[in-house]
Amino acid sequence: MIVVVIAKCIINFFIIGLFLYSKLLPYKDRLEGSYKSLFMFFDSVFEPLTKMLRKVVKPVQAGRTLGVDLSQVILLVLFLLVYELL
């Protein structure tokens, strides 16, 4: 029981991290201090995963010159599925 609670807390941590990662990614060169180190941690986790997913799932065209990258959305769905299965 306690293992499930800890696992769910870890998954929640990564879901929040994924949200912050997606919001801060365009501004990563302007981050400082502890925010930069926290971002770099999540970057080291999510960047390889999103890179791998981009090879499998191509961006969806939302306009003439606008493509939406679904790799972060897929990661979120996977985290939520694992959370629900625990």
Q: Could you read off the pLDDT of 24-77 as tens digits, one per residue?
A: 999 999 999 999 999 999 999 999 999 999 999 988 999 888 888 899 999 999
Instruction: Look at the chain and report how many structural domains it folds into.
Output: 1
**pLDDT for position 67:** 87
Kindly give, in sequence order, each residue whose CB lies less than 8 Å from that of residue 39, ignoring residues fewer than 6 positions away: 20, 21, 24, 28, 31
Listed in sequence order, the residues at least 6 apart from 84 whose beta carbon sits closer than 8 Å to its beta carbon are none
Its pTM stands at: 0.88
Q: Residue 69 sits in which domain range?
A: 2-85
On the question of pLDDT at 20 being above 90, the answer is yes
pLDDT of residue 15: 97
Q: What is the pLDDT of residue 71?
A: 94
